[in-house]
């Protein structure tokens, strides 16, 4: 596991390691590494089946595939639209007041 964090340190910025499938929810962007050969891929969680199988899609949702939670190291990141939504809600709640940083 430490090998992954060192080797892919730049790719995993803003990603959190998932040690429990309960952390996962639909819409999360993940990067996953096979436990056997440390091969890296990524996708967006479309659904979770039986608390161990993740159905993934690509960004434009044209391709779909499945991975097993138990056979991969999984890192997740909330989609950018959540942070955009939070920023827009902040602006709405504060009469569009923008603070200069």
Would you tell me how many other CB atoms lie within 10 Å of the CB of residue 75? 22
Count of domains forming the chain = 1
Query: Domain for residue 7, yes or no?
Result: yes
Q: What is the CATH number of the domain that holds 50?
A: 2.30.30.140
Query: Domain for residue 22, yes or no?
Result: yes
**pLDDT surpassing 90 at residue 67:** yes
Question: In 1-101, which ranges are continuous DSSP H helix?
Answer: 2-7, 80-93
pLDDT by residue (tens digit) across 7-29?
A: 888 888 889 898 888 878 888 89
Average pLDDT over residues 50-76: 90
Residue 77's beta-bridge partner residues? 29
CB 12 within 8 A of CB 29: no
Query: Domain for residue 100, yes or no?
Result: no
Average pLDDT over residues 26-42: 87
Query: Domain for residue 98, yes or no?
Result: no
pTM confidence score = 0.71
Domain that holds residue 53: 2-93
Query: Domain for residue 50, yes or no?
Result: yes
Query: Domain for residue 10, yes or no?
Result: yes
């Amino acid at each position: 596991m430490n090998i992954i964090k060192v080797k892919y340190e730049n790719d995993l910025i803003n990603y959190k390691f998932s040690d429990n499938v309960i952390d996962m929810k639909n819409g999360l962007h993940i990067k996953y590494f096979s436990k056997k050969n440390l091969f890296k891929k990524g996708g967006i969680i479309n659904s979770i089946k039986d608390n161990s199988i993740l159905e993934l899609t690509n960004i434009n949702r044209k391709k779909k595939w499945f991975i097993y939670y138990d056979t991969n190291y999984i890192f997740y990141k909330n989609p950018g639209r959540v942070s955009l939504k939070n920023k827009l809600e902040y602006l709405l709640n504060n009469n569009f007041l923008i603070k200069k940083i």
